[in-house]
Amino acid sequence: MIIDDIVYDLIKRTDEEEWFDFKENWFNPVEIGEYISAISNAAAVCGKSYGYIVWGITDKDHKIVGSNINFNCSYKNEPWQNYLPRNLNPSIAFDFKETIIEGNRIVCLVIPAAIKVPTSFLVSVSTKAITFSIPALCISSIF
């Protein structure tokens, strides 16, 4: 999987779709977990093997601007990259990939499509609240 090719393919599209999203430097530890869940499920419904969150690309016009996002941080007294997989069910092998495109740092979170059961993200251990979303556009295309 060549990340540069994936990024160029995604930015050629007119709009973001349910199975991929562009960000510049946005970082919210819990919301990213929710995005992983939603994008994993959307990729499955849309017949894609993977979904993506790509940092360093503008939302509106898909320009490559680069990102200084740092995923090697702590959240709730543990490494954030441990917190994420611990709160996803089932466990999925997502992966952060970094590349330089047109002189700009791009970070691509590669998210496998859900298989057999929907991917969920546990927001609160005490209440066991989970999020799950199915994109309406994709659902209408499979029925």
% pLDDT > 90, the chain: 66
Identity of residue 78: E
Task: Give the length of the chain.
Answer: 143
* 7-11, 31-35, 120-124: least confident range: 120-124
d(CA 52, CA 43): 9
Joined tokens for residue 55: 């940092």
d(CA 140, CA 97): 32
* 29-33, 69-73, 116-120: least confident range: 69-73
Question: Does the structure show a pLDDT above 50 at 130?
Answer: no
Q: How far is CA 129 from CA 14, 87, 103, in A?
A: 34, 11, 41
Comparing CA positions, the residue from 115, 132, 143, 136 lying closest to residue 44 is 115
The model's pTM is: 0.82
